[in-house]
Amino acid sequence: MAEKLTVLNPLGYPPKITRKALAPRLSTLEGKTVYLVDCRFDDSDLFLKQMQAWLAEHMPGVKTVFKPISSVYLQDDPTTWEEIKARGHAAILGVGH
C-alpha cells in the first residue's frame, strides 16, 4: 500500500485589490516637475538616475526630482506621495528589473 502524502498549494491567495483609474495624461512635460521615485527595488535608482540625465540633456525644460522612498518597497510612504501631490506634476516609479 502506497503512503499517502498531503501537499499545500504554494500559490496562496492573492489579496483583494481595488482598481484605481490612471492619472490623466499631461499634454506636455515642458515646464513641469517630474518626480523620479526610487522604490528601492533592485537597481531602480541606477535606472532613474540615467533617466534623469537623459531628461536633462534632451528635455531641459523639465525639472526632475530624484526621490527615494523612506523605507522598502513593501511599506507605504504617505509623506512622499503628499510631497509629490503638492510639488510635482507627474511621477515615474522605479520598481527595478
Q: How many CB atoms lie within 10 A of CB 44?
A: 20
What's the domain range around 83? 33-94
Residue 89 resides in a domain: yes
**Band of pLDDT at residue 22, cut at 50, 70 and 90:** confident
Structural domain contains residue 16: no
Q: Does residue 22 form part of some domain? A: no
The three-state secondary structure class of 59 is coil
Contact 32, 26 (CB under 8 A): yes
Instruction: Give the model's pLDDT for residue 96.
Output: 62
Within a domain: 83: yes
Is 26 inside a domain boundary?
A: no
Q: How many domains does the chain have?
A: 1
Per residue in 34-89, pLDDT (tens digit) is: 999 999 888 889 999 999 999 999 999 999 999 999 887 778 899 999 999 999 99
More confident residue, 87 or 8: 87
End-to-end Cα, the chain, rounded Å? 49
Residue 92's DSSP bridge partners are 36
